[in-house]
Amino acid sequence: MKNRFLTLLILFSFIACKDVSKQHKTEVNTRGTIAEKAMVVSARKEASEIGVQILKLGGNAFDAMMATEMALAVTYPYAGNLGGGGFLVFRLADGTKGALDYREKAPLASTKNMYLDDNGNVIKNLSTVGSMAIGVPGTIAGIFEAQQKYGKLDVKTVLKPVIELANNGFVVTKRQAKRFAAYDSIFNAVNKKQILFNKSIKAGDTIRNKALAHTLQRISDHGRNEFYSGKTAETLVSFLQSEGSIITLEDLKKYEAKWRNPVTFEYDDLTITSMSPPSSGGICLGQIMKMIEPFDLNDYGHNALKTIQVIIEAEKRAYADRSYYLGDPDFVDIPTETLLSDVYLQDRMNNFSFEKPTPSDDLSHGNIVGYESDETTHYSIVDQFGNAIAVTTTLNGAYGSKLYAEELGFFLNNEMDDFSSKPGEPNYFGLIGAEANSIAPEKRMLSSMTPTIVEKEGELYMTVGTPGGSTIITSVLQTILNVHEFGLTMQNAVDAPRFHHQWLPDEIRMEPNGFDDKLIKELEALGYTINLKRSPVIGKVDGILILDNGTLEGGADHRGDDTAVGF
């Protein structure tokens, strides 16, 4: 990052060329929603509004977190959940930073080879669809842990509008109706009957989820343990076992959310704080940013050939390390310090050349002496007190395992697929795993979720994150760079076309219609393989940027129904 004037020149010349994004029609560097004091940006308008409602009642970001997360569970069953897990990264108004891990866990009865047949081959779909794919859910533990430690309001006040929403219903969007239709047959196959969400639902219809309203009411009345040892736990386990799950009441009783030290690193004048293992997000993001920092991306230009080359080559190297070194820190030793050290990362980029790609086959993990689709969801909150949170939460695949607990009103995750069932075999997101991420009872599966908070010169600057499986890390990366290196507004930064490389397969995924043919041909001429088909969208980023005058700009990705609401 060198010259702000040059940035603006480049920005306006590429706006004039109108090839910023044929797909996204980003024609001017316009600001997103602006608010004076506080903001919530999430995948659904209702969830953002409920978060803001809680803030207006005097709640803080952690109260709004609980309300927003549960409102997403009501309105966005695609990824919002009670049956999944997630990660929180926060920065308090006084600058204190922290992270909360409420990732799912492998059940006590799980085994390393549980997804392999007698010949050692992965049994298709067992870790992705139905009851065997489910990890012990962490979401309710997570939102209670965060809210009870830092929140200001009582749980009943926080959950009241969410329960009303579940009872009164939400209006189905066009995107949502299409998804219900697309997934109808698999819902029927897994559940052996039609569920609440089905192909008869049309855009504009109202869905009332009374079962979920009752579940939330019990949780509101009895607290966290209602989900882990109360009536809800008993109903859930009895349902899961009737479907062949190995999850027991003991699994639920033993579940705990864990406070973790987040990963923090510097890039230029930014301090970036992101999620630590069992998410690979923070380490991977840090590795990529530190590998690209010596290069003058600002000079090369936004989404320009050289910029893409540098970023792609750093991504390959970081994802190769991810595959080998990362897993649940309670089970494996992770050489975090070395993986993020300048010496190690300079060495990793030693064989980088603008002349030709480094083939992924030549890029194993680095040597140190001594690891999607859009099925996750992210929300960002800044409150009127100056606290900021970044939360990414997931069922893993769309609607998780597709198994729907009808009596309780929610889907169960298929997070077990984020383990490496067989080292060397790609998971749903095509990520290759190693021993560090093998299955063991009570172990947490490796994630890519990258809820991130950025400070500039010691002050809160941005809270950002996204769904997107393996593309989460690279989408967060590009959004930060779009603001910091290329001067884009928060809104344009989240809307700009994105690309992605994850080491294997050795190809650059690019959003179709987001990049001009000349650039694609130049990359191909250098020897890169381009895949424009794999990912119609890469990430769905929601972020908040603190502007120079202290106001907040929301970036709500228009790839989805995402909405920023503030006051």
Residues interacting with ligand GLY, by CB under 6 A? Answer: 372, 376, 394, 396, 418, 447-449, 469
Q: Which residues of 148-179 are buried (b: 16+ CB within 10 A; e: fewer)?
A: eebbbbebebbbbbbbebbbebbebbeebbeb
Nearest to 541 by CA among 530, 554, 552: 554
**Cα 2 from Cα 553, distance rounded (Å):** 24
Cβ distance to ligand GLY smaller for residue 270 or 432: 432
Q: Measured between alpha carbons, how far is 190 from 414 in angstroms, rounded to an integer?
A: 13
- Count other Cβ atoms within 10 Å, centred on residue 202: 11
Tokens 């043919």 — which residue?
517
Which structure tokens are listed for 297? 């991306």
CA distance 499 to 553: 24
Say which of 128, 336, 376, 466 is annotated catalytic: 376
Minimum distance, C-beta of residue 473 to ligand GLY, in the bound complex (Å): 9
Q: Which single residue is written with the structure tokens 């999430």? A: 42
Q: Put residue 269 in one of left, alpha, beta given phi > 0 → left and psi -120 to 50 → alpha.
A: alpha
How many residues in the chain? 567
Nearer Cβ to ligand GLY (245/376): 376
Pairing verdict, β 85-91 and 388-394: antiparallel
Q: Let me know: does 38 contact 383? Beta carbons within 8 Å.
A: yes
Give CA–CA dist 229/8, Å, rounded: 57
Q: Which two tokens stand for residue 222?
A: 């009895």
State which residue, 469 or 555, has the beta carbon closest to ligand GLY: 469
164 closest CA partner among 308, 67, 289: 67
Separation of alpha carbons 240 and 238, rounded Å = 6
Q: Is 362 exposed, middle or buried (0-12, 13-18, 19+ CB in 10 A)?
A: exposed
463 is catalytic: no
In angstroms and rounded to an integer, the radius of gyration of the C-alpha atoms of the chain is 22
Q: Give the pairing of strands 508-510 and 530-531.
A: parallel
Q: Among residues 16, 131, 108, 26, which one has the least CA distance to residue 557?
A: 26
The CA distance from 177 to 172, in Å, is 6
Query: Running DSSP on this structure, what letter comes out for residue 426?
Result: B
Distance CA 392, CA 87 (A): 6
Please answer whether residues 165 and 220 qualify as being in contact, where contact means their C-beta atoms are separated by less than 8 angstroms. no
| Residue 107, token pair as written in the block | 């059940």
Active site residues: 376
